[in-house]
Structure 1
């Protein structure tokens, strides 16, 4: 009888939505990603075989599965048919992908196993291991293979590089990013009047800048686009770089709303920027979000780049990706219900809003539907 596995390393991502764990018993070592309790109904645990510590079986290790033990990988699929030495906890480290929905485990700095974020969203779980050399369609795991042959090596390298840059004290990243965004916004909206940190002292740094032009108050975010959003690489594949980063903006007419009402709306917006990472989700054109900070009759906002009808704003690229600027437009309960009635209903709502001359500038108006 086994005594059950030993946990060698355990590490949550920055929002504690997922926990990465490496476990080892006397037969085998595994890497797991567990969704936190809050997300366990929506997402399932993902497993990645790392190595056999005993001679591998010649066929599927069904007995282990029936006992509730982690199965060994068939000998012919490993680079160590006779088994390998147990992993040493002190040589293990975890690197989270920038989206924080996937991770890799490193052993003495070399990639040992990868569970890509998009594996969370597929029916069939997918993982890659360095010590797997072959696998059929039913295999527990796929070979990680050589750098250059498998995209995963590049993703892990990028993730390590991304984390190291942010941990480096020699060239702090944030002042550079901050300056680029403030400069882009000031070109359009004049001097920044106020600066509000909206990151709750968590990484990454995020802020809202306040501007005023032509009797309209503007709040524009910066830092949100440091992290790519979860889900997007799965939904958009090769086109993901065009959709995975965003900043959000609010423009309110001073003729229609008081300073106090405008400030409350901005508070509501600042609480939305972290949603993709807190909820393992994504935000895009036509998405709606509830908010208790809006003046009646509004109760939600819809995100849209299409509502903007000013002169083009060129945002800095982030890590080579385009950054989308979504304007937040308050909507009523009936409008939100219309948007949720069918797939892509958010787009249909935006079309009606644009037909009704609603722009990115928030003014008092009646419900459109």
Structure 2
């Protein structure tokens, strides 16, 4: 048996996962590997692509005992006599928009798919292969099947179209979306005072706008919503379009905080903008994020759209999805611990804040009572 040869190795947009195609003289496989920083959180995900030799009649236990990739049994592949080796020049990787799943294409046809939701739970660790004809007992490899019969085709077509929208530095997609966001924000908060790029020169373009109205500084992001967040598709299933895109906002009283403190909060927002994709996580109602950039006694923020009690802000839809505008409210250490004291206690914290007449405008305040 020959050692496997790597045919393609491509990271996602933030280098958190790597898509790899390998083959030896028996079999070809597609893998998603986590980066070194995420190896304790996520495990590699395999996807068989094709046998290069006659398929075994039974599960290839011998190869697995040798630490080698197993061939697929003859009953479950459409080429029991084997196919020719893959040629690396004909391979292409397509990442999903979230960056947590990918497909490998061969001559622009889908050969295998590892969906993003397969990353998060070993029970959901399923892959789809074009040359697979059936699933073995307790096997996690599924047939890709034909177009129209498997949603993976539409999912990858959608990803291909998405990346085409953002090809080239002069992409029109950003200028259109940027204008829509600025108009929505200025309609409520007046002309933009300052505009800060917060993308660090990386795609996607992201920015933070500073507005002022009635002694309140409003800080609002634009561009975060270009990418849907990881995890959400698994957690919300058919309802995912209502939860997977977000922008961030803060409203800070100028009477309570100095310009330096306000800009430190802007720095916090800038750091949070890329958090879901750098850490392969997500943000939603009641989530908390700790930060050293907040003035005492605050040490974290809670994420919420429910705290906002102003006029409706007409955010555009992005790729047909609702965009959630999440306001960041600073909280103390004890308040954060309360939000983490039991499942979904972040909602309880928000209810307590609203009960004590707290809203999206950040002011100096006393710690909420512990009862």
TM bucket normalised to smaller = over 0.9
Q: CA deviation at 1:260?
A: 1.5
**Root-mean-square deviation (Å):** 1.0
Report the TM-score when normalising by structure 1: 0.98
Aligned to 1:345: 345
Aligned to 2:30: 31
Show CA shifts across 1:91-145 (max 9, x none).
0010110000000001011110000000011223200000111223423510001
Aligned to 2:281: 281
Show CA shifts across 1:33-67 (max 9, x none).
00111111111100000000001011111111111
Q: CA deviation at 1:200?
A: 0.7
Show CA shifts across 1:271-324 (max 9, x none).
111110011100000000011111110000000000001011121001000000
Q: CA deviation at 1:75?
A: 1.0
Structure 1: how far apart are the matches of 2:20 and 2:140?
Answer: 17
Pairing 1:228–2:228 present: yes
Structure 1: how far apart are the matches of 2:96 and 2:189?
Answer: 35
Q: Is the 8 A contact 1:8 1:24 kept in 2?
A: yes
Q: Is the 8 A contact 1:49 1:140 kept in 2?
A: no
Structure 1: how far apart are the matches of 2:68 and 2:216?
Answer: 62
Structure 1: how far apart are the matches of 2:309 and 2:138?
Answer: 52
Hey, which bits of structure 1, 4+ residues long, moved more than 3 A? 168-171
Moved more, 238-247 or 120-129: 120-129
Moved more, 130-139 or 340-349: 130-139
Unaligned runs of 5+ in 1: none
Q: CA deviation at 1:169?
A: 6.3
Q: Is the 8 A contact 1:57 1:73 kept in 2?
A: yes
Show CA shifts across 1:179-237 (max 9, x none).
00000101100111110000111110100011011110001000000000000000000
Unaligned runs of 5+ in 2: none
Pairing 1:157–2:157 present: yes
Structure 2: how far apart are the matches of 1:224 and 1:217?
Answer: 20
Structure 1: how far apart are the matches of 2:199 and 2:180?
Answer: 18
Report the TM-score when normalising by structure 2: 0.98
Structure 2: how far apart are the matches of 1:111 and 1:105?
Answer: 6
Aligned to 1:292: 292
Pairing 1:119–2:118 present: yes
Within-5 A mapping of 1:1-369:
2-124=1-123, 125-168=125-168, 171-368=171-368, 369=370
Q: Is the 8 A contact 1:98 1:227 kept in 2?
A: yes
Structure 1: how far apart are the matches of 2:192 and 2:301?
Answer: 24
Structure 2: how far apart are the matches of 1:140 and 1:361?
Answer: 49
Q: Is the 8 A contact 1:305 1:324 kept in 2?
A: yes
Structure 1: how far apart are the matches of 2:134 and 2:271?
Answer: 46
Report the secondary structure of 1:58's partner residue. Answer: coil
Report the secondary structure of 2:165's partner residue. Answer: helix
Count of residue pairs brought into register by the alignment? 368
Report the secondary structure of 1:42's partner residue. Answer: coil
Structure 2: how far apart are the matches of 1:271 and 1:177?
Answer: 21
Report the secondary structure of 2:313's partner residue. Answer: coil
